[in-house]
Structure 1
Amino acid sequence: MNPQDLELLLVRQMPFGKHKGVIIADLPANYLGWFAREGFPKGEIGRLLTLMYELDHNNLKGLLQPLRRP
């Protein structure tokens, strides 16, 4: 993981699926869990979804709060 990925979680939108347009950091836990079971996509979006899943699963979403823009 690189530090810029944490910032990307707060600006990159989900490009497809049920939650298209939702910021990755705001995706529901059950949706992230579905990807964890079924497989994450390849590329940047998959890397970011994997990171968000790990943060959510380990109850570390609070680490993103200081990075959120007002």
Structure 2
Amino acid sequence: MEGPDKQVLIDIVTIRMPFGKYKDRLICDLPIFYLEWFNKKEWPTGKIGYLMQNVYEIKINGMEPLLRQIKSVIRR
């Protein structure tokens, strides 16, 4: 079984939200209630929506420490 796509994880901690109330915030730093709203309505199309869905899954499964760890390594 393969692990998560490394590039997706890197993108999650380096790409910023391009629109909305949380514009310019890192995708990994979007609040869970914001992600839940999109999950109930509709995810944005394209890469941003894909990254947001992945962050949502990571957060609801209690794996947020993984994002913090990757973020700290990337910032070195």
Give me the CA root mean square deviation: 1.2
Aligned partners of 1:19, 1:60: CA distance in 2, in Å? 22
Identity across matched positions, percent = 39
1:19 deviates by: 0.6
How do 1:13-28 residues align onto structure 2 when only pairs under 5 Å count? 13-28=16-31
Which residues of structure 1 form unaligned runs of 5+? none
Normalising by structure 2, what TM-score?
0.85
**Whole-Å separation in 1 of the counterparts to 2:20 and 2:45:** 15
Structure 1 stretches of 4+ moved >6 Å: none
Secondary structure of the equivalent of 2:18? coil
Aligned to 1:47: 50
Give the match for residue 29 of structure 1. Answer: 32
* 1:20-41 Cα distance to aligned partner (Å, 9 max, x none): 1100000111001011001101
Question: Please, what TM-score do these two structures have when normalized by structure 1?
Answer: 0.91
Gaps of 5+ in 2: none
Q: Which has the larger radius of gyration?
A: 2
